[in-house]
Amino acid sequence: MSEPEKLDLRSMDITKEQKEKLRQLFPEIFTEDKIDFKKLKLTLGESIEAGKERYGMNWPGKADCFRIIQNPSIGTLKPCPEESVNFDNTENLFIEGDNLEVLKLLQKSYYGKIKMIYIDPPYNTGNDFIYPDDYTENLTTYLQYTGQVDAAGKKFSTNTDTEGRFHSKWMNMMYPRLFLAKNLLCDDGFIFISVDDNEVSNLRKICDEIFGEENFIDCIIWKKRYGGGAKEKHLVTLHEYIMFYAKNVDAIGQLFVPYSEDSVNKYYKNKDENYKVRGPYRTHPLEAGKAVGERKNLVFPIQAPDGSRIMPKRQWYWSKERVESALKNNELEFVKSKDGWTVHTKQYLKDEDGNIRMGKAFSIIEDVYTQHGTNEIIKIFGDIQIFPYPKPIGLIQNLLNVATNPDSNDIILDFFAGSNATAHAIIDLNSKDKGDRKYICVQLPEYCSEDTAAYKAGFKTIADIGKERIRRVIKSIEKEKGETLFKDKQLNLGFKVFKLDKSNFKIWDAEKLSSDKKALEKQLELYIDHIDPKATQEDILFEILLKAGFELTTKIEKIELAGKTVYSIEDGAMLVCLEKELTKEVIKAMAEKQPSRVICLDQGFVNNDQLKTNAVQIMKSKGVDDFRTV
């Protein structure tokens, strides 16, 4: 009897994915799906003796990091339209939950699709951080912490500088998250990580291992404040760091950023007859310095305005042909002093087609400060204590300009979202350059203490602050620019809220069977009636999308076929029917549309095995080979 396959309700199998990467490169090292490591060494021309010392980084708990990575999540992300803005049309996401579980759940749908990641993780300053770092702390711990199961208010892992494994616990927290995050980056993607002196050296080693030393671009210095303080014991610390890596440095090319308004006003002050097309210009000496290698063909005379000949002391930057072309187009400027004439090139703000030139970003950011972030929170909430030390949006926009383009539909991920400065920065930048960047922000619903201004203002969790910040930013932009922005494809406002929760399906657990008869009976009962009675159709639909590899912003259309409700995904690429009483007519109607995949509830075939068998044949007769049930 032929039956439809079951949809895998677990997150992506990371171990299987890693093996497939190896299989594509070295198929000869596999024997019955097992890796022959001796053959791999021979293939690579390696002869490594066991027990020899090797360069690398190790710490207590590192082995458990890989167990955490390989352990799939069986949770889901449940939609919350009532907490969202423009839920049906927006392509932005705010996900409330433990970011480790969320990163696992995003693997199938967003693998290789994220252009840029920016995170501002806990700095490990000796104060507690509550992100779990223990292999035993998983979805169940999160549900306990958020009060969704017993033991409400359970504290996640803490870390203080009096503990013996202070640095190790922070690294155990970071390593699996960065490993999973790398999978989500596209080949020409980037990751930026804010950090201070406490863990900058450890973070660099972790990133070298996960992303590869060859993909390190820079350690950006952020001058976060402009004054000192009497509290400093030794030096006045003015800076933090932003670790900057590419997914694949060979895929990114050169990086340029638009000139700031301040830079334009400061440097581009001169005008000539080309101003209408090419804008103002700045000048640079044409004479080359000692750093340029000697080239005899760059030594030649240039005629000055008074007819005299100007010779370089060493050589020019440009060839004779290029100088003659520049003279013809009035792109050189001559300056006379008591020492004679000097020649300067004109660098216009715009190219010949009127497009503004781009420049190179610096490895030091010193025009935006912590106080700017605090002022942004005050402007939005009117309370300086609502969220401590938020990153200023200008800092994040500096990074966005390096890594993204306005018209490229890039997706930016921040899985330590905090007060949602990243979402704010993207919305603000899109409104300025008419960009279409999208964001996915993830934040643990960390509880606000009752004595904080945030709690007194009505915010129970950090996630609540983040959601409200985006809502208020959207309202502010609407008020500033008009009420039709949702219709303007150039400005993608709104956000969908999802919350981490246990699966809507009771998943078969083979480990609980063993020889326990009662456990076996319970598992069989779950298998028969395996859908959570509290689950809505929308809950189930979005879990299916997630587990089937579709993005959470995928286009969904609700249609009716043969008297039954069917969800058309991505213009019919997949059809999902969640009816609990299926008919032959609806099976035929779905097959007639020839989607790539069809998914139905297993409950729809209860007491009708013949219909289930016929359904497989009907689907195959119309070329639908991927027919699954949940």
What are the structural domain ranges in the chain? 5-69, 70-256+360-501, 270-350, 514-629
Q: What is the mean pLDDT of the chain?
A: 87
Residue-wise pLDDT tens digits, 276-308: 999 999 999 999 887 777 888 999 999 999 999
Residue 625: predicted pLDDT: 92
SS3 of residue 150 by DSSP: coil
Question: In whole angstroms, what is the distance from residue 79 CA to residue 449 CA?
Answer: 27
How is 571-613 classified by DSSP, letter by letter? TTTEEEE--SS--HHHHHHHHHT--SEEEE-GGGGTT-HHHHH
Contact 369, 223 (CB under 8 A): yes
pLDDT score of 241: 97
What average pLDDT does the segment 20-36 reach? 79
Hey, is 464 helix, strand or coil? helix
pLDDT range class, residue 1, cuts 50, 70, 90: very low
- pLDDT tens-digit profile of 533-547? 899 999 999 999 999
**Residue 329: half-sphere exposure toward Cβ, Cα within 13 Å:** 15
Q: What is the rounded CA–CA span in Å between residue 270 and residue 132?
A: 58
Contact 550, 574 (CB under 8 A): yes
SS3 390: coil
365-375, pLDDT tens digit by residue? 998 999 999 99
Give the three-state DSSP class for 249.
helix
The encoded tokens of residue 615 equal 């359904």
Distances (CA, A) of 144 to 79, 152, 156, 626: 20, 5, 10, 37
More confident residue, 458 or 512: 458
DSSP-derived 3-state class of residue 98:
coil
pLDDT at position 420 over 70: yes
Q: How does residue 162 score in pLDDT terms, banded at 50, 70 and 90?
A: low
Architecture of domain 70-256+360-501: 3-Layer(aba) Sandwich (3.40)
3-state helix, strand, coil in the chain (%, to 5): 35, 20, 45
β-strand partners of 443: 96
Q: Retrieve residue 447's tokens.
A: 């509880």
pLDDT digits (tens, 9 = 90+) for 243-279: 999 999 999 988 888 877 777 888 899 999 989 999 9
Indicate the DSSP class of residue 211.
H
Higher pLDDT residue, 417 or 54?
417
Over residues 503-532, the mean pLDDT reads 64
Q: Which residue has better confidence, 457 or 159?
A: 457
Q: What percent of the chain has pLDDT over 70?
A: 88
Per the CB < 8 A criterion, the answer to whether 319 and 297 are in contact is yes
Residue 570 has pLDDT above 90, yes or no: yes
By DSSP bridging, strand 496-502 and strand 93-96 are: parallel
- Using 50, 70 and 90 to split pLDDT, how confident is the model at 486? very low
Neighbours of 373 (CB within 10 A): 24
Mean pLDDT of 496-504: 96
What burial class does residue 276 get, using C-beta atoms within 10 Å of its C-beta: 0-12 exposed, 13-18 middle, 19+ buried?
A: exposed
pLDDT of residue 135: 44
For residue 26, which phi and psi values (nearest 5 degrees)?
Answer: -135, 70
Decide if pLDDT at 154 tops 90: no
